[in-house]
Amino acid sequence: MDIGIYLRFVIWDLSFFGLMEIIPTIIAKDFSEVQEKIKRAEPFFDWLQLDIMDGKFVANKTWQQSEDLIKIKTKLKLEAHLMVAHPERVVDDWLAAGVQRIIVHWEAVVQAGAETQHISYLQKIIDQVKSQQKEFGLALNPETPVDILADWLLQTDLVLLMTVNPGQGGQDFMPKVIPKITQLRQIWPDGKISVDGGIDLEFAKQCSQAGANVLSVGSALWRADSLEQMAGLFKKI
The CATH number of residue 206's host domain is 3.20.20.70
Cβ–Cβ under 8 Å, residues 106 and 87: no
Q: What is the mean pLDDT of the chain?
A: 90
pLDDT of residue 82: 98
Does residue 51 have an active-site annotation? yes
Domain span holding position 104: 3-235
pLDDT tens per residue across span 146-171: 999 999 999 999 999 999 998 777 77
54 included as an active-site residue: no
CB 156 within 8 A of CB 191: yes
pLDDT tens for 94-137 read 999 999 999 999 999 988 766 556 678 899 999 999 999 999 99
Q: What is the pTM of this model?
A: 0.90
Average pLDDT over residues 202-218: 97
pLDDT band at 2 (very low <50, low <70, confident <90, very high): very low
Specify the pLDDT at position 168: 73
Q: Which of 2, 30, 51, 151 is catalytic?
A: 51
| Number of helices and strands in the chain (H, E) | 9, 8
Name the helix (H) or strand (E) containing 31: helix 31-41
For 108, residues 6+ apart whose C-beta sits below 8 A from its C-beta are 57, 82, 83, 84, 85, 86, 87
What percentage of residues in the chain have a pLDDT greater than 70?
Answer: 89
Residues 41-87 pLDDT 10s: 999 999 999 999 999 999 999 999 999 999 999 999 999 999 999 99
Q: In total, how many domains does the chain have?
A: 1
Region 4-17: what's the mean pLDDT? 41
Active-site entry in 93, 147, 196, 200: 196
